[in-house]
Structure 1
Amino acid sequence: MINRDLIRRKIVQLTYAYYQNSNHNIDNAEKELLFALSKSYDLYNYMLQLIVALTQEAQKRYEVEVARAQREGAPEPSSRFAYNRFAVQLEENKMLADWADVKKSSWEEDIETVRKIYTAIVSSDLYASYIDGSMTKDHEEELTDYAYDREFWRRAYKTFILNNDELDALLEEKSLYWNDDKDIIDTFVLKTIKRFEPTSKADQELLPEYKDEEDRDFARKLFRATLLNCDAYQHYIGDACRNWDFNRLAYMDVVVMQIAIAELMTFPGIPATVTINEYVDLAKLYSTPRSGGYVNGMLDTIARFLISRGLIQKELPERKGGHHGPHGHKEG
C-alpha cells in the first residue's frame, strides 16, 4: 500500500523536522521514517474500520426499528444498508480483525463522529436511491446484488468520508503522523472497495503494508542519501541560484530540492522528468504559492548540469526557447 508518492511526502516532512532538531542522529531519523510510514498503514486500516463501525451502527438501529415495527404492526424497514453484502464481508475480514486486535483499535471512543456520518448518509439522496434500487439505473449493465452493495459504499465513501473536514480534524488530533496522509489513503481505501469479491469471503486480502521490499529500500536509501550528502546537494542548489542569495530561498524549497537531487543521483532507473515533476508537486503542497515554477526551473537546471558532468546517466527533453522545466508523466 505504501507507495512512492507517500514515501516522498514523509521524507519531505521528516527531513524538514530533522533540521529543526538539534540532535542529528541518522539512525534515529530512519527509525522515525519507518514508524511514520507504518502509521500511514494504520490509517488505511482505520478508515476501513470506519465502514465497519458505520455498518454496526446501522445494524443496531435496524434491530430497534424492526422491534418497533413489530410492536406497532407497521411495515419493517429495509435491511439493505445494515446488512450490505460488501460491508458485512469487510466486517468479517480476517486481516482487518487481526490488525484491530493487535492495535486495540476501535471507533467506540468517537462514536458521535460515526453517528454524524451515519445520519448524513441515511438522510441523503444517494441512500434513498440505494434503498429503492434505482442507484445505478443509468449503469451500462445490471449489477449483481453484491456489486450493487459494493458500488453504494464506493459512492458513500467518496461523498461522506472523502473531503470531510470534521473527520480530517479528528484524525489529526488522534495522530500527528496522519497529517496530510488522508487524501492518499482515501485512494487506497477506494481501490480496496473495488477489489473486494464475494467469493473471497473473510479471506479477502487487503492491501499489504508494502507492495514489495523494494519500496521499503527506496525509503531508506532516499532518506539516508538526502541527509548524508546534504552539503553537496546544497552546493548544487547554490550554484543553480546564480544571482539569488541562497540564504533567501524558502527553506522548504531547499529541503524539497535536496531530496529531489538525492533521488536523481541515487536511483538510475527513475527518469529525471518523473523525479522533477514529483518534487514540483511537493513544493506546491508544502512551500509557497510560487514554489512550483521556481523549483521546476531550478531542478531542470541542476539535472542538466549533473547529466553534462556524467554524474547521472539520464535524459531530459531539449529546452524550447527560454528557461523552463520539463514536462513528463508522473510515476504511478
Structure 2
Amino acid sequence: MLTRRHIRIKVMQCIYALSSSREDSMEKQQKFLNQSIAQTFTLYLLILGIFRELHDLAELHLQQSSRKYLDSPDKAGPDALAKNSILKQLAGNTLLDQAFKKRKLKQWYLNEEYIKILFREILESERYREYLPVAGAYEQDRDFLIGTFKEVIAPNSKVYDFLEDEGITWVDDLPLVNTYILKQLKKLKPGSAEQFFMPRLLKNQEDMEFGQELLKKTLLRYEELEKEMEGKTPNWDKERIADIDGILIKMAICELLYFPSIPERVTINEYLEIAKEYSTPKSSIFINGILDKLVKDYKKEGKLKKTGRGLL
C-alpha cells in the first residue's frame, strides 16, 4: 500500500514536527514515524468500515420496515443497499471483523451520525435511483459502489473533518487510502478471498528500515547537511528558505551521500514530486537547481558512490 515516496513524506512530517516542537528525542521521533506508518492502515480500515456500517444500517431499516423513516413515499428505500453484493462481501469478511476488534475501532459505532448522513445522501442521490433497476448484478453493484464512493463518501466534508481530528497525519493519508480503495474495488471479483481486503501495508521490511534510517541519518547529520546547501544558490539565506524546502533538501542530500543503492535521479525526482504537493509553487524548481548542482559537484569530488539498481 505504501510506496517509498509515502515513507519519505512521513519522514518529512516527523522532522517538521521536531523542528516545530523543538523535541530533540530521536527515540520519540522514530516512535512517531512507526505509529504514523501503522496508522495509515488504521485509516484504511476505517474507510472500509463506512461501507460495512452503511450495509448494517440498511439491513436494520429493512428489519424495522424502514420505509416509514423517509420523509415521503416517493423516496427510494434501502433495499438495494442492503442487498448490494460488494457491501455484503465487506460486511461478512471475518478477517476485517478480527482487525476491527484487535484495534478496537469503534469510531463509527460511537459517532453513528456520520454514517446516517452518508446513508441519507446515498438514498437521495441520482446515482442510487439509476442503480435501482439494475441492482443485484455483481458488475452493476460494484460500479454503483465505486461511483458512490467517489461522489458521496470520499468528498464528504463532515467525514473529512472528523477523520482530521481523529488522526494527526490522516489528512495527508486520505488521498492515498481513497485511491487505493478505488483500485481494490475495481479489481474485486465474486470469488475474491477475504485476504483481498487485508493487503500488506509495506512491500517488505526493507521499506520500514529505509524510513527509519532516513530519519535517523538526516537528524544526526542535520547541521552537516545544512552546510552542504551553503553557496549552492545565489543570495543563499537559510532564513528565507521555506521550512519544508529546507527539510526536503537535507533529506535528499542525505540520500545522495548515505544511501548508495538509490540512484541519484530517483532521489531527485522523488523530492521534486513531494515539493510540488507540500511546498510552494516554485519550490520544485528551487530544489531541483540545488540538487543538480550538488550532484555535479559530488561526482567531480568522487563523493557520489552509487551501487545497485535501488528501489522507489
Relative to the length of structure 1, the TM-score reads 0.82
Query: Deviation per CA, 1:257-309, whole angstroms, max 9, x where unpaired?
Result: 11122222333343333322222232233333332221222222222222332
Q: Flag structure 1 segments of 5+ consecutive residues without an equivalent.
A: 69-75, 135-143, 316-330
Q: Give the Cα separation in 1 of the matches to 2:279 and 2:78.
A: 50
Is 2:112 the partner of 1:111?
yes
Match of 2:122 in 1: 121
**67 and 236 in structure 1: CA distance in 2 versus 1, 3 angstrom threshold:** closer
Matches within 5 A, 1:252-331: 252-313=244-305
- Out of 226, 235, 238, the position equivalent to 2:227 is 235
What is the total number of aligned residue pairs between the two structures? Answer: 302
Deviation, structure 1 residue 27: 2.4
Match of 1:53 in 2: 53
Identify the structure with bigger relative contact order (alpha carbons < 8 Å, sequence gap 6+). Answer: 2
Q: Secondary structure at the match of 2:172?
A: coil
Query: How big is the shift at 1:129?
Result: 1.7
> Matched residue of 2:232: which SS?
helix
Q: What is the identity percentage for the equivalent residue pairs of Structure 1 and Structure 2?
A: 29
Q: Secondary structure at the match of 1:207?
A: coil
8 Å Cα contact 1:192/1:206 also seen in 2: no
Residues 65 and 77, structure 1, Cα contact 8 Å, conserved in 2: no
Q: Distance in 1 between matches of 2:138 and 2:152?
A: 21
1:90 maps to 2:63: no
Structure 2: gaps spanning 5 or more residues: 69-75
**Aligned residue for 1:326?**
none
1:19-58 counterparts in 2 under 5 A?
19-58=19-58
Alpha carbons 1:14, 1:33 under 8 Å: kept = yes
Aligned equivalents of 1:295 and 1:224: distance in 2?
22
Residues 157-236 of structure 1: matches in 2 within 5 Å?
Answer: 157-200=149-192, 202-236=194-228
1-structure distance, mates of 2:242, 2:67: 63
Distance 1:66 1:87, change over 3 A: same
Q: CA offset at residue 66 of structure 1? A: 6.7
Deviation at 1:169, TM superposition (A): 0.9
* 1:255 CA drift (Å): 0.7
Q: 1:104 to 1:194 in 2, by over 3 A?
A: same
Query: When the two structures are superposed, what TM-score results if normalisation uses the length of structure 2?
Result: 0.87
Instruction: Provide the C-alpha distance between the structure 1 equivalents of 2:48 and 2:195, rounded to a whole number of angstroms.
Output: 15
Which segment drifts farther, 151-160 or 274-283?
274-283
Kept after mapping to 2: 8 A contact 1:89/1:201: no
- CA displacement 1:5-47 (0-9 Å, x = unmatched): 2211111111111223334122221111001111111001111
Task: Kindly indicate whether the alpha-carbon contact (under 8 Å) linking 2:96 and 2:197 is maintained by their aligned counterparts in 1.
Answer: no
Gap change, CA 1:17 and 1:77, over 3 Å in 2: closer
Aligned to 2:132: 131
Q: CA offset at residue 184 of structure 1?
A: 0.9
SS in 2 for 1:179: helix
